[in-house]
Amino acid sequence: MVISHRYLHGGPSDKNFSGTSDVGCGIKVYCFGGAQEVAFFHEYRAGVDWVFVDHPSYHRPRNPYSDIYGAFGDNQFRFSLLCHTACEAPLVLPLGGSTYGEKCLFIVNGWHAGLVPVEEKFEKLGR
């Protein structure tokens, strides 16, 4: 499973996600002191489940990280939300008829997902 943001650079009909479909399994993720509702979009391609996390904060024209004025002020929130959601996805998404479950190996690529190992450890400790 590959998990990424669902960046809608071109609006709701962004061609980058034309092969995806809504999984119909939205969840609440607790992040930055509140509950955030996220949805998942999925595409099975080349033997891999591609999962895209959808939240209004990922819907930005052009560059998802910054604009001409610099980095977006909510980047910490948006990337933390991705990390929390990535840890939940294998437990809640019924891809191929069942969930991946708890026995997952996370390979974290880039600073966007840097909190995944920390989050996963705390979830296993029940904190």
Q: What's the CATH code of the domain at 44?
A: 3.40.50.2000
pLDDT for the residue 126: 55
pLDDT for the residue 127: 47
The answer, yes or no, to whether residue 112 has pLDDT greater than 60, is yes
Give the mean model confidence (pLDDT) for residues 90-103: 88
CB 82 within 8 A of CB 65: no
The two three-digit tokens of residue 44, written as one number:
């099975």
HEC string of the chain equals CEEEECCCCCCCCCHHHCCCEECCCCEEEEECCEEEEEEEEEEEECCEEEEEEECHHHCCCCCCCEECCEECCCHHHHHHHHHHHHHHHHHHCCECCECCCCCCCCCCCCHHHCCHHHHHHHHHHCC
pTM of structure = 0.83
pLDDT for the residue 29: 92
Residue ranges making up the domain that contains 25: 2-125
The answer, yes or no, to whether residue 74 has pLDDT greater than 70, is yes
Give the separation between CA 60 and CA 104, rounded to whole angstroms. Answer: 31
Number of domains in the chain: 1
Q: Of 124 and 62, which is predicted with more confidence?
A: 62
- Give the pLDDT confidence of 31-62 residue by residue, as tens digits: 888 999 999 999 998 998 999 999 998 887 77
pLDDT for the residue 117: 82
